[in-house]
Amino acid sequence: MVRYKLIIEYDGRPYVGWQRQSDAPSVQQSIEGAIFKLCGEECYVTGAGRTDTGVHATGQVGHVDLPRWYRPDTVRDGLNALLVPHPIAIISAEERQDGFDARFSAKRRHYVYRILNRRAPPAMAQGFVWHIKRALDADAMHAAAQQLVGHHDFSTFRDSDCQANSPMRTLDQIEVVRIGDVIEIRTSAQSFLHRQVRSMVGSLEHVGSGKWDAADLWRIFQSRERAACGTVAPPDGLCLVHVDY
């Protein structure tokens, strides 16, 4: 068996997420189908992040053990040809034989959430941003967000279906930056709870719109009550952009 590291990009809209499901299409299932056509054997692809329904990726990382050696560019180009017409691309393939594991070797995962903050709706970015017409104060959102950095109980921002053993997580970084009409919320951590990023973004939107201030965000965060969370942001704007190893 030969292990390959894959860098993967995808439009998450047609899928129930990364993870294979028995009754709906997933990114993992689509890639595994292409691998079967390439090598004639069923092979399991492990992803660094189990992105949720409708969530995108430009820097997802996966690994797969193939039954025989292929040139890395053959793996990349062959899978891309076999993935048509799925909106999935293998950006690179690299042979790895050092115990590399896409999930467990990951040191940090980086996500970006994009909000289009203008009156006019998106034309080119439809499905890839959260469109909010009312003006948002990105500076206020950034300042309030810094309270979330560090090792905390993130129960407020934890989905009720989350299967993690503990709500404790360490948020290494969260930045809110305005670039013209787009507000980017950039987050980094070794791991996230189910829908944690979208939950944090939805609550930060309340700060940006003036519904809450920084003290309100801290209060609901410290309550550790899921019901206190703001409206969960839609998946459209969320993208896994990079994984550190």
Which DSSP string corresponds to 152-194?
A: EE-GGGS-TT---S-SEEEEEEEEEEEETTEEEEEEEES---T
Amino acid at 136: L
What are the catalytic residues? 52
Contact (Cβ atoms closer than 8 angstroms) between residue 78 and residue 71: no
- Count of Cβ atoms closer than 10 Å to residue 97 Cβ: 9
Strands (E), the chain: 2-10, 45-47, 56-66, 88-95, 108-117, 130-132, 150-153, 168-179, 182-189, 238-244
Cα→Cα distances 205→17, 201, 208, 222, 225, Å: 24, 6, 5, 18, 18
Write the CB contacts of 192 (distance below 8 Å, at least 6 apart in sequence): 109, 111, 169
The residues facing 189 across adjacent strands are 109, 171
